[in-house]
Structure 1
Amino acid sequence: MRKSLFAVAALGAFAGAAQAQSSVTVYGVVDANLEYVSNMSSVTPSVANGFATGPAENLFRLSSGGLSGSRWGLRGMEDLGSGLKAMFVLESGFGLDNGRSLQGGRLFGRQAYVGLESAQVGRFTFGRQYTSLFELMANYSPTNYSTQYEPLILQVGLNFRSDNTAKYTGKYGPVTAIAHWSFGNGVVGDGEVPGQFRRDTGYGAGVGYAAGPFGISAAYDQYNPGLAGGTGEFKKAAIGVSYSLGPAKIMGGYRWGMNKAPNDNNILKDNYYWVGGSYQVTPALGLTLAYYYDDVKNLNLAANGATNNIKNPWQISFIADYDLSKRTDVYLTTAYAKNAGVNFDTSAISFANGYFLGTGKDNMVAVAVGVRHKF
């Protein structure tokens, strides 16, 4: 349940400034589950150990963020008149299992921006924000960017939250247009560096159309991370479509990707596909099924330009979600991945989500049962 300004007066630091706002709300999600994972590496791959894996073991644990990342945030908006509004969002991610801040320990690591919105022109925002590609593909994810078992990093990139970003969003009837520019993202590199304007920059744009049961979006994203030897180029372009028919919705998409090293050698070139659907069995019970496949065309992890061969990973995911109320639900989420850990985590493709296959294994099963509360 969203709280009024006076409900957060105890925060003190915000109380005086918030009086000038037309509205300030507190919101959030808390999500935790009991999880089982098969064939998990007992060693965490890293750059330091050469992405080495260890013996495969079964894992039982309490995890945070099954269907949604646990978070809390502040959202404010002021009506300035003549169709102009000011707004801000400050959103913090945390692990419900241990109470620690996520996103590298940032206070507001999920989002932190301020902006102006005109009814005639659109919205301009400045700060840490989602990329155009991430936002435009959100409605075409069968599992709604489910935190635990969706190959999100592979699909939209490590930079899907970008620092130092200026962003435009315009809505024209059924059409939405988005464009962004990051002056320096510290996800991989150092962010804004004097004398190195291009290093760690990023940009992208896209357009979406949604009317009635049909929706379609297309977007492009480029991130130029600072790597050993200079600045790389990580490029992605994607298209997503969806169609609703009564209680059912089907969707799918395609994402082209090409990551290059500073010497122009390919690090990774791939074609990524996804398809899935959801069905509302009753007003309380919803079911979701999704399939993901990555066609790896070129993979180069060696300084001499040698190509590494891996088998193309694929994954099936299933979610059953039951609403106990408008704010609380319980769920079962599960995934089976072949030629990778779930989320397509391998030392070659993505090592952002931590589901690494044990040595000699080529498949993984993950199952979680949890509860989520929105406020």
Structure 2
Amino acid sequence: MKLRNTLVGALTLAVGGPVFAQSSVTLYGLLDEGINYVNNVQTAQAGAPNGRTGGSQFAMTSGVMQASRWGLRGTEDLGAGYKAIFVIENGFDVGTGRFQQGGTFFGRQSYVGVTSPWGSVTAGRQYDSIVDSIGAMQAGSFAGGAFADHPGDIDNVADTQRINNSVKYTSPTFGGLTLTGLYGFGGVAGSFGKNSIWSVGARYVAGPLALAGGYMHINNPNQSFYGNNSISSPTANNLGSVTGVQVNPIYGGFASAHRLQIYSGVAQYTIGSLIAAVSYSNIRFQELNDPASGTLAQTNPFGYTGNAAFNNYNVYAGYYITPALQVGGSYNYLRGGAINGKDSAAYQTYNAVIDYFLSKRTDVYFAAAYMKASGVDSTKQAAVPYIVTVTPSNTSNQVVARIAIRHKF
């Protein structure tokens, strides 16, 4: 009996072996941890103007050059050029172990789909078409990570937000051109369009020149876009508090928008070891004071109506001094937010990075940024800097410097 069971088991493995050989699952990840110095950050203080004061800060933080994460990526060969694929990816803080993306376990990505000679179709929680087309060409990739992101990542080029319940198509690359399109289902009974999101994007590469552009149309952004994480609220302002210590003063006051539209484009050129680029984005929070955004006393405490628009301009460059040593820098100018007699605000950001690779998987870097703000922000207060991953300043200027290590596996 034992011999028969052994032979049956061996035969099963022999027959099943070639099937399992067609599949693979890869564990991967990245850890980015370092120490920041910030000259001024907001802290709560009862009785102070706007309920807060400011002070300098030393802090250990995670995920600036790249967000810390781990994930599983799998493929199964279906034959005839077709493959089943999946990705599940968790974002976390190295220093505390806490989940990122609003407490969502697989908050960075979670999707399943099929690739073929005609492109790929995937379904789940995914990046939008702007991120897919432009993300790898944005300033943060070459000039300092999150510190080089557009203020508040207002156009989502740096993929702060993901799209839930979405279906995406990505074409093969033909003559240097790759196309992509996504639709996120709102899932609201009786209203096909409510909470829905759609985006399109394209990237073209011809030798040293790369061009990319994208468009995203977001209905009910406070719920569908900013409010699609585990700890999000169906009624409150998911862009962050507009009183006390601020979370997103640049556009947090525009959570009541019925619709958000984003246009973005970039042109990048490579000359030997030098990479340089220019980019532009237009961001429009439209039809403010929409009751579907949540409780208007929280999403629109200032009673805004109409539209609030922003324009963002960016130039950056990265240069490999040696294969192991890279330097980069960028300048960003964001202006907009005028509405109902409220003045606009302007934000200028300068940043630089030095990145030394100890190996193919490990590097150490020093990054620094300076932002100056002027005008009136979305919360009807004097505009203050908001550098991504850093608490907003309590003054019109903010400086941040960081030394850190990054490891990929």
Smaller-chain TM-score bracket:
0.7 to 0.9
Q: Larger Cα Rg: Structure 1 or Structure 2?
A: 2
Superposition deviation, residue 353 in structure 1:
4.5
Q: In 2 relative to 1, CA 55–263 (structure 1 residues): closer, same or farther, beyond 3 Å?
A: closer
TM-score (norm 1): 0.82
Q: Residue type matched to 1:335 in 2?
A: A
- Counterpart of 1:38? 39
1:215 aligns with 2:249: no
C-alpha distance in 2 between matches for 1:231 and 1:20: 51
Q: Distance in 2 between matches of 1:355 and 1:346?
A: 17
Matches within 5 A, 1:253-292: 253-262=279-288, 265-292=305-332
Residue 195 to residue 352, structure 1, CA distance change in 2 (3 Å): farther
User: Which AA in structure 1 matches 2:345?
Assistant: K
Whole-angstrom distance in 1 between the partners of 2:264 and 2:389: 21
Please name the residue that 2:354 is paired with. 320
Task: Please list every run of at least 4 consecutive aligned residues from structure 1 whose deviation after the TM superposition is greater than 6 angstroms.
Answer: 228-231, 348-352
1:7 corresponds to = none
TM-score by length of 2: 0.75
| Separation (CA, whole Å) in 1 of partners of 2:69 and 2:99 | 9
**Deviation (angstroms), 1:354:** 4.9
Give 1:267 shift. Answer: 4.5
CA distance in 2, matches of 1:125, 1:181: 11
More moved, 236-245 vs 260-269: 260-269
Matched, 1:176 2:216: no
Cα deviation digits, residues 295-348 of structure 1 (max 9, x gap): 21x433xxxxx23214311101111100000110000011000007xxxx9857
Quick check: 2:85–2:112 contact (8 Å CA) kept in 1?
yes
Following superposition, the deviation at residue 103 of structure 1 comes to 0.8
Aligned to 1:203: 198
- Separation (CA, whole Å) in 2 of partners of 1:87 and 1:259: 36
Q: Deviations over 1:21-53 (max 9, x none)?
A: 611100000110100111211139xxxxxx946
Q: Deviations over 1:172-198 (max 9, x none)?
A: 2310001000113xxxxxxx3322322
Match of 1:138 among 128, 135, 139: 135
- Asked if 1:150 corresponds to 2:149, the answer is yes
Displacement after TM superposition at 1:208 (Å): 1.1
Partner of 1:6: none
Matched residue, 1:92 = 90
Q: By how many angstroms is 1:160 displaced? A: 3.7
| DSSP-derived class of the 2:98 partner | coil
What SS is found at the alignment partner of 1:326? coil
CA gap of 1:346–1:282, structure 2 versus 1, over 3 A, is: farther
Which position in structure 1 is the counterpart of 2:278? 252
Give the aligned CA root-mean-square deviation in angstroms.
2.6
How many Å apart are 1:147 and its aligned residue?
Answer: 3.1
2:106 match: secondary structure = coil
**Post-superposition CA distance 1:236-292 (Å, at most 9, x none):** 111100000000010111111111135583342011111110000011100010111
Q: How far apart, in 2, do the equivalents of 1:347 and 1:367 lie?
A: 27
Identity of aligned residues (%): 33
CA contact (8 A) 1:142 1:288 kept: no
Q: 1:370 to 1:295 in 2, by over 3 A?
A: same
Contact 1:134 1:160 in 2 (8 A): no
Question: 79, 103, 123: which one pairs with 1:126?
Answer: 123
Check whether the contact 2:110–2:126 (CA below 8 A) recurs between aligned residues: yes
1:294 corresponds to: 334
C-alpha distance 351-162 of structure 1, shift in aligned 2 (>3 A): farther
AA aligned opposite 1:40: V
In structure 1, how many angstroms separate the alpha carbons of the residues matched to 2:359 and 2:316? 26
The structure-2 alpha-carbon separation of the partners of 1:210 and 1:53, relative to structure 1 and needing over 3 Å to count, comes to farther
The C-alpha deviation readout for 1:48-69, integer Å capped at 9, x for no partner, is xxx9462121011000012010
Q: 2-side partners of 1:199 and 1:368: how far apart?
A: 42
Higher helix residue share = 2
- C-alpha separation in 1, matches of 2:134 and 2:161: 11
**How far did 1:20 drift?**
7.8
Secondary structure at the aligned position of 2:327 is classed as strand
Following TM superposition, by how much is the alpha carbon of 1:109 offset from its aligned partner in structure 2, in angstroms?
0.2
Distance, in Å, in 1 between the alignment partners of 2:160 and 2:400 is: 26
Q: Supply the distance in 1 between the matched residues of 2:369 and 2:160 (Cα, whole angstroms).
A: 25
Cα separation, 1, equivalents of 2:221 and 2:271: 46
